[in-house]
Structure 1
Amino acid sequence: MSASTPATDARTRLARAALDAFAVRGFHGTTTRDISTAAGMSPAALYVHHRSKEDLLFELARVGHERVLDLVRASVATSEDPVEQLARLVEDFVRDHAVVHTGARVINYELAALSEEHLAAIRAIRHDIDLVVRGVVDRGVAAGVFTTPDPRMTSLALLSLGIDVGRWFRDEGRWTPDEVAAHYRFLALRMVGAERSRG
């Protein structure tokens, strides 16, 4: 099917409605009727495209996490220098979590509602994201440009800080996504003990 078919449009409307509803009410506080109604569809419409509300959440989480994995890999691929790699990765990761903060909040903070099988699939993608970040930090330590004594813990801290942006960032807030991304880049380079930072 092409991207403009009615079925795809319906899935997109359901996805957007689900993200908004989950963000406001949480997964367990949202009914399938809430989602379908917000999407302008009949109460049974969700089941035409998804086996369950949980299956819809999994689809949102899978697509979102795979997109972030692609993003961090692309960020790292822009340079061979660990300092620049980490700076670009953190800046892109944080900006993304600010720009799509509603979706980021849902796919990171509603995971407990997933089945064991679905949760395992998301954890596998998150592990791959962690490996990208840890790889950059490890290379920086090996090259002598990072001085963090525990690269693994530092990598987890960097990811946690970025993910949390999706929880607190608001469009009408004090800072823009670019301002938050630039500041977190500065913080990240300090955390790893980088001796130089490039603008």
Structure 2
Amino acid sequence: MAKRRQARFTTDDLEGLPELDDESPALWDESRGEVPRKLLTSAVRCFASNGFHATTTRDISGAVGLSPAALYVHFPSKEHVLFEIVRTAHDRALACATDPAVAGLDDPVEHLRALVARYTEWHARYHVAARVSQYELAGLSAEHYEQILETRHRTNVVFRTAVERGVTSGAFADVDVKRVARAILSLAIDLVRWYRRDGADSPEQLGEFTAQLALTMTGAPVASVHQG
């Protein structure tokens, strides 16, 4: 029996879809120029809808009114486009988690609350690019994949350290630091599979809700979880 092929979205199909509406266009460094930024935004939408392998350079370029060859003027390959998206998303997410306004909080409870809220908000605001950066890693070259793994490791350390600090200080229960940190990261990131800007929760509301769940997982005292 022949394997049924998955429906493939055309660039016309993607026009105006609310699930592809996010703030990803703001991620790209303006020094790249207008055309490369448009190509990256188009690629995010195409990769998120059809996957990296099913997306063609014609799809990416055509959506911004350019010929397929135009992509190669700015990027060596389709894989380099993917890497730029994934690298940028991971770097920006890590910068959000290490922002001095969050990292400088002395109280372990307030620090974890702010860390999780900000990290969750970031993934909600850029949920389409974040979805690509989480679920299309298999399209990267081995060299590029290793670079992304290093950034992911640094992010994991930030969350493990935040939980461990609370446990050591007595602000949290004696929880399994690695498991709790992993669960918190999953909560903050997995929303990229379903979040929509036209849904019930704003990024801020979702960030605060996830932060409360994270503190509950650490066994923080109820009074601490609900204060502020």
User: Is TM-score (shorter-chain normalized) higher than 0.5?
Assistant: yes
Equivalent residue for 2:189?
Answer: 163
Q: In the aligned structure 2, how far is the partner of 1:30 from the partner of 1:148?
A: 47
Q: In the aligned structure 1, how far is the partner of 2:159 from the partner of 2:137?
A: 21
Q: How does 1:10-29 map to 2 (within 5 A)?
A: 10-29=35-54
Query: Where do 4+ consecutive residues of structure 1 move more than 4 Å?
Result: none
Q: In the aligned structure 1, how far is the partner of 2:76 from the partner of 2:182?
A: 34
Q: In the aligned structure 2, how far is the partner of 1:183 from the partner of 1:33?
A: 41
Q: In the aligned structure 2, how far is the partner of 1:86 from the partner of 1:50?
A: 39
User: Percent of aligned positions with the same letter in both sequences?
Assistant: 44
Q: In the aligned structure 2, how far is the partner of 1:71 from the partner of 1:4?
A: 19
Q: In the aligned structure 1, how far is the partner of 2:57 from the partner of 2:156?
A: 33
Cα RMSD (Å) of the superposition?
1.4
Q: How does 1:62-73 map to 2 (within 5 A)?
A: 62-73=87-98
Letter in 1 for 2:52: F
Does residue 43 in structure 1 map to residue 68 in structure 2?
A: yes
Does residue 184 in structure 1 map to residue 210 in structure 2?
A: yes
Taking structure 2 as the reference length, what is the TM-score of the superposition?
A: 0.82
Q: In the aligned structure 1, how far is the partner of 2:126 from the partner of 2:30?
A: 23
Q: In the aligned structure 2, how far is the partner of 1:37 from the partner of 1:78?
A: 46
Q: In the aligned structure 2, how far is the partner of 1:118 from the partner of 1:4?
A: 23
Aligned residues: 196
**Any unmatched runs of 5+ in structure 1?**
none
Does residue 149 in structure 1 map to residue 204 in structure 2?
A: no
Contact 1:91 1:182 in 2 (8 A): yes
Q: In the aligned structure 2, how far is the partner of 1:144 from the partner of 1:171?
A: 38
Equivalent residue for 1:56?
Answer: 81
Q: How does 1:92-171 map to 2 (within 5 A)?
A: 92-171=118-197
Q: In the aligned structure 1, how far is the partner of 2:123 from the partner of 2:30?
A: 27
Does residue 34 in structure 1 map to residue 68 in structure 2?
A: no
**Any unmatched runs of 5+ in structure 2?**
1-28
Please state whether the residue corresponding to 1:173 is helix, strand or coil.
coil
Please state whether the residue corresponding to 1:187 is helix, strand or coil.
helix
Q: Aligned-pair distance for 1:78? A: 3.7
Equivalent residue for 2:16?
Answer: none
Label 1:81 to 1:8 Cα distance change in 2 as closer, same or farther (>3 A): same
Letter in 2 for 1:92: R
Q: In the aligned structure 2, how far is the partner of 1:79 from the partner of 1:29?
A: 45
Q: In the aligned structure 1, how far is the partner of 2:54 from the partner of 2:124?
A: 24
Q: In the aligned structure 1, how far is the partner of 2:196 from the partner of 2:174?
A: 32
